[in-house]
C-alpha cells in the first residue's frame, strides 16, 4: 500500500511569511507525528496526534507553530512569520498507537527561509 | 527523562569488514529501543527494535543489536559491511505509554570499496 506522503517536497519562503506543510498518513494508522531535522542534528519531536484525543504539543518550539489533523487523517503543520532558524527538513510519521510500534516516515519537506 | 547518545558522528569502514555503531541510552523506565536508517534523499526506515523480549535483536540487511542494561547500551553491529550500507543511522529510545521517540544525533557510516 501507499506510504506516508508529504507535500511540498521543497519549500523556499521569505522571512516573515507563513507556510503550510501537509502530511498524508498511512491508511489505518491512528497516530501521527511531526518532527524537525536540522542540519547535523537528530530529529526533534514537534507534535503528536492520536485518534480524537487532544494532541501532544509539548515539542512545538514557539507559538508560531501549530498543527491540525482533519478527520483523523491528513495533517497540516503551519509556521507563521517564518524565521531563518525554521529552515530544516520537516518529517511526518504515522503508526499504530503507542511507543512500541514502528513509525513509518514520509520523505519530508525541506523548508528554506531566506 | 529519556535520551540517547551516539558516540560517533562518523564511522568509516572498508567493504567486507565489521560495522559497530555505538549507542548509549538514558531512560527512567524500561525502554523500547530502535535503530533507524536514512539513506540519502530517502525516508527513515526501521532497522530493528527492542521491546523487552530477547536482548539480541536481529534486523534487516544483516544488522543486529544487543541490549545491555548494565551498560545502558544498544550498539548496532553487522559482520560484513556492504557498499549499500552507507547511510545515516539513528539510535532511538521510547517507553511504554510515551507519545514520541527520542532520536540520537546520528552516525554517518561510510563504506570504502
Average pLDDT over residues A69-90: 94
Confidence band for A50, pLDDT divided at 50, 70 and 90:
confident
Could you give phi then psi for residue B90, rounded to 5 degrees?
Answer: -120, 130
Q: Which residue of B has its CA nearest to A59?
A: B100
Which of B51, B97, B103 shows the shortest C-beta gap to A42? B103
Chain B partners within 8 Å of A50 (Cβ): 99
Average pLDDT over residues A29-47: 88
Q: What pLDDT, on a 0 to 100 scale, did the predictor assign at position B98?
A: 66
CA gap A31, A8 in Å, rounded? 21
pLDDT under 70 in chain B at which residues? 1, 96-99
Of A26-30, A39-43, A52-56, B11-15, the one with minimum mean pLDDT is: A39-43
Confidence band for A24, pLDDT divided at 50, 70 and 90:
very high
Return the sign of the alpha-carbon dihedral for residues A38, A43, A46, A49. positive
Chain B partners within 8 Å of A23 (Cβ): none
Average pLDDT over residues A59-80: 93
Q: Kindly report the CA angle at B36 between A105 and A41, in degrees rounded to 5?
A: 85
Cβ-contact B49, B75 below 8 angstroms:
no
Q: Do A45 and B95 make contact, defined as CB atoms within 8 angstroms? A: no
Mean pLDDT of chain A: 91
Flag whether residue B46 sits within 8 Å of chain A, measured between CB atoms: yes
Q: Do B99 and A106 make contact, defined as CB atoms within 8 angstroms? A: no
Amino acid at each position: 500500500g501507499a506510504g506516508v506522503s508529504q507535500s511540498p517536497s521543497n519549500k523556499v519562503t521569505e522571512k516573515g511569511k507563513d507556510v503550510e506543510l501537509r502530511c498524508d498518513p498511512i491508511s489505518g494508522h491512528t497516530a501521527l507525528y511531526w518532527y524537525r531535522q536540522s542540519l547535523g542534528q537528530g530529529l526533534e519531536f514537534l507534535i503528536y496526534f492520536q485518534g480524537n484525543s487532544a494532541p501532544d504539543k509539548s515539542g512545538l518550539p514557539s507559538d508560531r507553530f501549530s498543527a491540525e489533523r482533519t478527520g483523523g487523517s491528513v495533517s497540516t503543520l503551519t509556521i507563521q512569520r517564518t524565521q531563518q532558524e525554521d529552515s530544516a527538513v520537516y518529517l511526518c510519521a504515522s503508526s499504530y498507537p503507542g511507543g512500541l510500534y514502528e513509525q513509518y516516515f514520509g520523505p519530508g519537506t525541506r523548508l528554506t527561509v531566506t | 527523562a529519556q535520551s540517547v547518545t551516539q558516540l560517533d558522528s562518523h564511522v568509516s569502514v572498508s567493504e567486507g569488514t565489521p560495522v559497530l555503531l555505538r549507542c548509549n541510552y538514558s531512560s527512567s523506565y524500561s525502554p523500547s529501543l530502535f535503530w533507524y536508517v536514512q539513506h540519502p534523499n530517502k525516508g527513515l526506515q526501521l532497522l530493528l527494535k527492542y521491546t523487552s523480549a530477547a536482548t539480541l535483536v536481529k534486523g534487516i540487511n544483516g544488522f543486529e543489536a544487543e541490549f545491555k542494561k548494565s551498560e545502558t547500551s544498544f550498539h548496532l553491529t553487522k559482520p560484513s559491511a556492504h557498499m549499500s550500507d552507507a547511510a545515516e543511522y539513528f539510535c532511538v529510545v521510547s517507553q511504554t505509554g510515551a507519545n514520541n521517540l527520542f532520536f540520537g544525533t546520528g552516525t554517518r557510516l561510510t563504506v570504502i570499496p
